[in-house]
Amino acid sequence: MLPKSVRHIDGELWYSVYEGDNASLNYRVRKILHEEQTPYQHLMVLDTYDFGPVLVLDHILQTTTLDGFIYNEMITHMPLAIHPEPKDVLIIGGGDLGAANEAVKYDSVERVDMVEIDEAVVRLSRKFIPGVAGTGELDPRIHILYEDGVKYMAEADKQYDIIIIDSSDPVGPAVELFSQPFYEQVHKRLKPDGIMSCQSLSPVFNMFYLQHIRDVLGLFFNDVKTYSATIPTYNGGLYSFTLGLKKPPRDYKGLEPQGENRYVTPAILEKSFIQPLYVQEDLKMEEIHDV
């Protein structure tokens, strides 16, 4: 029996990502590499024709071999490049290890704590999606904690320079990662000059969540900035990320991403804060011309 998001069409397997009741994005599938119901969610790894092996949680596409680097570079390099000297990094979620691998590109980073609720995500990403998870031994600065991110945030007493909320969409175990109490704890766990970043979904289909995240972060952080990238994997193509900064940044110009990257450049980091007019209007924000 096929999973509900995979179906036969003209003798071929297709996986569909639905956006509400009226739109979907479809991927032709070579085979289902793995499927299981973990204690937390339904998990699949599909081998697709154009995007390679992809990770699917609760039937929602998370990352692909083809373009997963775009998401991981953007959610990670922006806060790390802005911070003057990031040493301690916390990632909530991120079980595909993409964000953790990006964080250790920075020479100043001494430790990356990655709190992932579901060990199966890490295990299967390393097995089937090495293009995202990496190959060989993990960088010794990466420490994986198999815990609930909300619980960890409420109980931990450690503070961080950077916190990255690399969550899946707000369904299943990720729902609480979009709540006001959770972001309040994020603020408490950051050092006085700390910066957080999170994925804030597509402004094309999910403007409600993007506005919600900005509103909630605005309750706790002195500066809130939304930036975007073009990621073919996600419905709508245009995808957003949002920063919460305890202190106003030193400057958004001259940001220098470290390591060998495929998407981020100094110009990309600087100009990604500029939003299309319809996004500015929906968010009631001023366009940033000179950040």
Q: Tell me the catalytic residues.
A: 166
- Residue 16, classed as helix, strand or coil, is strand
DSSP state of 106: S
The stretches of the chain forming alpha helices (DSSP H) are: 68-82, 98-103, 119-128, 130-133, 149-155, 180-189, 207-218, 266-271, 277-283
Joined together, the tokens standing for residue 38 give: 């973990």
Instruction: Judge whether 93 and 148 are in contact, CB under 8 Å.
Output: no
Partnered with residue 43 across adjacent β-strands are: 36, 57
Per the annotation, binding residues for S-methyl-5'-thioadenosine are 41, 116, 148-149, 173
Q: Give the pairing of strands 190-199 and 160-166.
A: parallel
Residues 6+ apart with CB under 8 A from 286: 280
